[in-house]
Amino acid sequence: MQPLYKMFPQLEPALLQEIEANSILKTIPADEILIRTGQYIKSALLVVEGTLKIFRENEDGGEFLMYYLQPGEACAISLVCASKMEASKVMVKSVEESVIMMVPIQLMDQWMSKYKSWYYYVLETYRNRFEELLLLIDHIAFRNMDERLIFYLKRYSKAHKSNQINLSHQQIADELNSSREVISRLLKKLEQKKLLSLSRNTIELKDDFHKELMN
Amino acid sequence: MQPLYKMFPQLEPALLQEIEANSILKTIPADEILIRTGQYIKSALLVVEGTLKIFRENEDGGEFLMYYLQPGEACAISLVCASKMEASKVMVKSVEESVIMMVPIQLMDQWMSKYKSWYYYVLETYRNRFEELLLLIDHIAFRNMDERLIFYLKRYSKAHKSNQINLSHQQIADELNSSREVISRLLKKLEQKKLLSLSRNTIELKDDFHKELMN
DNA sequence: TAAAAAATGTGACAAATGTTACTTTAGTTC
DNA sequence: GAACTAAAGTAACATTTGTCACATTTTTTA
């Protein structure tokens, strides 16, 4: 595992020491749910390794993707909710084996005034998540499913650092709140345009794909 | 005007004094843009009177509504962006004559460690705005336009404390990123159901309307 | 008050997406 | 390898939303 100061270069050494001394490091297997909708949050989450997925569950169990969290990032929901012991409005799940750090709430409040770097880190986290949500809103409000699919695949590929996407069309449909048939149709079109190739449970993005639809 | 301590009961008296001494109170006429997309933010906004509207502008000038801000609330975007002198990603506009307080950034940072009540107020602001965005995402992701329209009208009515809505169908269409004809159609249906009555530039919500579609 | 402008109504149609009911294909298990 | 199962393909159709082209009504302005 990378040392913490490499993972969180923004944080001052004294703070990193406190973090190491006081928070619990946990290894999570892939596809485990860390936080459920309605659950009360007792500690803040920092991602050390792996990838977490933040999503909203709909009535039928569909997992509508909001965004991914990468090493060095913190779960904004947990930061906001933890300090007030509020119920989470979203689900958090590991998409691969991940290592997370759980910081007790009381310390967070202290650190806020004690460490300027923590204060800025938290603000930066809020800002980034806000922007992520704005981007998401833009997409679902202004774009059609074909563009949203491309955006989704790009994001997935980036979060998993791979051009190979191992998901069924059904899973993708769930995350975009669409239906399998629609996603299959759109993927076929992209395949015809030679932007990707399809096989069972895998989508292989070609180089041209990433040139498509900037932002 | 209401005294500040009534408007912001969460904030401790010493802080309120500092706010009064150091921030600029400004009266804004209706329909004035306070912050534009791309603009750098030099101070945080607190709403003292009136209503502000936070929206995203699309290519054609449509004003896609995100949420309203009421007296006692703060603009989360300004809180986040101000501390880093970042460019705003949204527009802020007064929907009626409003009074706002502009707090210089440097003070915000100081207050954060000096006044617990400020710290909690800011966190609470983030939390509320986050939830507002989540609700919005739920609506545009999971609901059809008819439900979104009802939700929109309810929110408008609540923000303006009136059952009379003075907007053209075109304006509503813009805020929902739809088209006038669609909104007219849906409004006609609601009129036929006797949930509201229509006339030029006004929609009058009837009592039954508010019973419709809880949440 | 006539003319212009803005808002709304309307019907026909197009496009995007969702749904249904299958078939086909690929992988897994017995 | 036969039987089963999950994933993907497909075609026909329904629904929702968007678009176009005008007509009608209401309000404003010259």
pLDDT tens per residue across span B140-171: 999 999 999 999 999 999 999 999 999 999 99
B94 contacts B30 by C-beta, under 8 angstroms: yes
Say what the pLDDT of residue A213 is: 67
Task: Give the residue on A whose Cα is nearest the Cα of B125.
Answer: A80
B40/A contact by beta carbon, under 8 A: no
* Å from the A136 CA to the C15 C1': 23
Residues 6+ apart with CB under 8 A from B59: none
B30 touches chain A (CB under 8 A): no
Contacts of B90 in chain A (CB under 8 A): 134
- Backbone dihedral angles phi then psi of residue A91, each to the nearest 5 degrees: -105, 150
* β-bridge mates for residue A27, sequence order: A99
Compute CA distances A44 → A62, A77, A82, B201, whole Å. 26, 8, 6, 49
d(CA A54, CA A79): 14
Q: Using CB atoms, which residue from B64, B113, B133 is nearest to A133?
A: B133
Cα–Cα dist A127/A124, whole Å: 5
| Residue B164: predicted pLDDT | 97
What is the mean pLDDT of the segment spanning B48-54? Answer: 95
Q: Is B124 on the interface with A (CB under 8 A)?
A: yes
For the residues A112-141, what does the mean pLDDT come to? 92
CB contact A85 to B (< 8 Å): no
The answer to whether strand D lies under 7 Å from the CB of residue A166 is no
> CA–CA separation, B132 vs B138, rounded Å?
10
A141 to B64: CB separation less than 8 angstroms, yes or no = yes
Q: Which residue in the set B134, B142, B177 is minimally distant from A177, CB to CB?
A: B142
> Rounded mean pLDDT of A203-211?
94
The phi, psi pair for A11, rounded to 5°, reads -90, 140
pLDDT for res B106 = 86
pLDDT of residue B214: 63
What is the Cα–Cα distance from A160 to A96, expressed in whole angstroms? 9
CA pair distance A48, B212, nearest whole angstrom: 46
Q: Which residue is nearest to nucleotide D9 (CA to C1')?
A: A184
User: Cβ–Cβ of B137/A66 closer than 8 Å?
Assistant: yes
The answer on pLDDT for A215 being more than 70 is no
Q: What residues in A contact B136, CB-CB < 8 Å?
A: 137
Q: In the block, which residue shows the tokens 């965004």?
A: A67
- List chain B residues with CB under 8 Å of A131: 89
Q: Which of A115-129, B80-94, B193-207 has the lowest mean pLDDT?
A: B80-94
What gap in Å lies between CA A68 and CA A77, rounded to an integer?
13
Give yes or no for A130 touching B (CB within 8 A).
yes
- A56:B137 CB<8 A: yes
pTM (predicted TM-score) = 0.92
- Answer yes or no: is B178 CB < 7 A from strand D: yes
* Distance CA A60 to C1' C23 in A: 27
Q: How far is the CA of A135 from the C1' of D19 (A)?
A: 27
Between CA B57 and CA A196 the distance in angstroms is 33
Q: In this complex, do A80 and B141 lie within 8 Å of one another by their Cβ atoms? A: no
Whole-number Å distance between alpha carbons of B8 and B49: 12
For residue A55, the chain B residues in CB contact (below 8 A) are none
Please check the confidence at residue A112 and state whether its pLDDT lies above 90. Answer: no
Tokens of A159: 């979060």
What is the spatial distance between Cα B15 and Cα B76, in angstroms, rounded to a whole number?
Answer: 19
User: Residue A194, class by beta-carbon neighbours within 10 Å (0-12 exposed, 13-18 middle, 19+ buried)?
Assistant: exposed
Mean pLDDT over residues A47-60, rounded?
91
Q: Grade residue B105 by pLDDT with cuts at 50, 70 and 90.
A: confident
Instruction: Transcribe A19-54 into DSSP letters.
Output: HHHHSEEEEE-TT-EEE-TT-B--EEEEEEES-EEE
Mean pLDDT of chain A: 92
Q: Average of pLDDT values for A155-164?
A: 94
